[in-house]
Amino acid sequence: VTTGLGAVELVHVRLPLVEPWVTPLGRMVDRDVVLVRAVVDGAEGWGECVAQPDPTYSPEYVEGALDVLERHLVPRLMAGRPTGADAVAGILAPVKGHRMAKAGLEAAVLDASLRAAGVNLADDLHRRSSAGTPAARPQRVTGGVAVGITSDLGALESAVAGRVAEGYVRIKLKVHPGWDVEPVASVRAAHPALALQVDANGSYAPLDPAARRRAIGALDPFGLLLVEQPLADDDLVGHAHLGAGVATPICLDEGVTSLEVTDTALALGACQVVNIKSGRVGGLLEAVRIHDRCLSAGVAVWCGGMLETGIGRATNLALATLPGFSLPGDLSAAGRFWADDVVTEPLAVPSGVGAGVEVVDLSRWTVSRRRLA
């Protein structure tokens, strides 16, 4: 058994979605995704790079992630001889940005080293968090689900009714100027007590400040949990101004890329809630730090989703067991997106070692596979 980091493998897979996924950013019928396999101390681990096929959610995208992983990140990591996952972010820090690619690599190393040590991921994250409860971490978390943009209000209503019937306790709707008050009003009328929130993916950015306040303020009567990322990624001041003029709590997603940006957003009053995605912030360990900071600042967090396969969903579930995750995350079951998932386990906080999932034979979905030793 080789000690330390052995081989790293990059697997580009393409999974068909059970139904098209439509957001303010576009329409997707297959999910192209990069899975990272790492061997540490002879144990195999998996991580998922959540970059999307197109650079429309963030500057990262699947082919770019494969390229930066192969040319820059994996060679640096190999040369840096990390003894465990704690060393990964520091070794990769000279490469700027590419947080989703870095996070996928760190997750694979973390999973492998925890498997080698016989430790469960959720337990490990609790040990790392200043607010963790290693002796009594939750065995399950409450999941919410995202409903995409539909062709009309009738289709939206039946999609929401279906998700509520499946048992989801919180629904997130996608909104943009022109598809906001009407869908929210119609869902609220049908489900007066439903925990409901909306995600704009920055689509209100082109409006002037008064029009933003009118559009987002028009959602105030519907008692939403939050409105997510109404403005541009880098417009923290704009979010602070908008938040001062509306009642619905503002949540940041795309805008929060690191612990430092979290501090800036909190100092500016840019948000009342933070969506934490380990990929967006460069890794699970940074996500734990952001969670800890938000918890001590009294800012609620929840775990976002990036249409992950079961590999990424397992790490999301482990993360979401931390105590600051007081709002339901985008932690829908595999069947929400996939007819067949890449893992065998059902969606519950995995109890096994590492991230706790077993990866099936990927060959039927594989676009390319590169082994970097």
Point out the residues that are catalytic: 174, 277
Q: Which is nearer to ligand NPG, 92 or 284 (CB)?
A: 284
DSSP codes joined into one string, 155-193? HHHHHHHHHHHTT-SEEEEE-BTTBSHHHHHHHHHH-TT
Q: Which is nearer to ligand NPG, 113 or 332 (CB)?
A: 332
In whole angstroms, the minimum distance from the beta carbon of 350 to ligand NPG comes to: 18
What is the C-alpha separation between 118 and 354, in angstroms, rounded?
A: 7
What is residue 5's DSSP assignment?
E
In whole angstroms, the minimum distance from the beta carbon of 326 to ligand NPG comes to: 18
Judged by CB under 6 A, the residue of 46, 57, 61, 168 near ligand NPG is 57
Residue range at the interface with ligand NPG (CB under 6 A); choices 12-20, 115-123, 300-308, 347-355: 300-308
Judged by CB under 6 A, the residue of 243, 255, 304, 354 near ligand NPG is 304
Site string for ligand NPG, 137-176 (x = CB under 6 A): ---------x------------------------------
Residue 215 Cα to chain centre, angstroms: 26
Q: Which is nearer to ligand NPG, 120 or 332 (CB)?
A: 332
Residue 329 three-state SS: strand
In whole angstroms, the minimum distance from the beta carbon of 149 to ligand NPG comes to: 11
What is the C-alpha separation between 308 and 315, in angstroms, rounded?
A: 10
Under 8 Å between Cβ of 34 and 48: yes
In whole angstroms, the minimum distance from the beta carbon of 330 to ligand NPG comes to: 4
Q: Which is nearer to ligand NPG, 305 or 350 (CB)?
A: 305
Q: Which is nearer to ligand NPG, 60 or 345 (CB)?
A: 60
Q: Which residue is nearest to ligand NPG (CB)?
A: 305
Q: Facing residues of 250 across strands?
A: 227
Please, what is the Cα angle at 205 between 31 and 331, to 5 degrees?
35
Q: Does residue number 321 form part of the binding site for ligand NPG (CB under 6 A)?
A: no
Judged by CB under 6 A, the residue of 303, 306, 353, 355 near ligand NPG is 306
Q: Does residue number 60 form part of the binding site for ligand NPG (CB under 6 A)?
A: no
What is the C-alpha separation between 47 and 278, in angstroms, rounded?
A: 11
Adjacency order of strands within the sheet including 26-40: 43-49, 26-40, 5-23, 366-372
Give me the helices (H) in 229-331, please.
Answer: 236-245, 259-268, 284-297, 310-319
Residues 5-44 that bind ligand NPG (CB under 6 A): 23, 25
**Burial class of residue 68, CB neighbours in 10 A (0-12, 13-18, 19+):** buried
Under 8 Å between Cβ of 108 and 311: no
In sequence order, which residues have a C-beta less than 8 Å from that of residue 361 and are 6 or more positions away? none
Residue range at the interface with ligand NPG (CB under 6 A); choices 73-81, 125-133, 285-293, 301-309: 301-309
Residue range at the interface with ligand NPG (CB under 6 A); choices 6-14, 65-73, 176-184, 298-306: 298-306
Residue 120 three-state SS: strand
Q: Which is nearer to ligand NPG, 52 or 262 (CB)?
A: 52
Residues 229-268 that bind ligand NPG (CB under 6 A): 253
Q: Does residue number 278 form part of the binding site for ligand NPG (CB under 6 A)?
A: no
Q: Which is nearer to ligand NPG, 100 or 270 (CB)?
A: 100
What is the C-alpha separation between 24 and 227, in angstroms, rounded?
A: 14
Q: Does residue number 307 form part of the binding site for ligand NPG (CB under 6 A)?
A: yes
Q: How many residues bind ligand NPG (CB under 6 A)?
A: 14
Q: Point out which residues bind ligand NPG (CB under 6 A).
A: 23, 25, 52, 57, 146, 199, 201, 253, 304-307, 330, 332
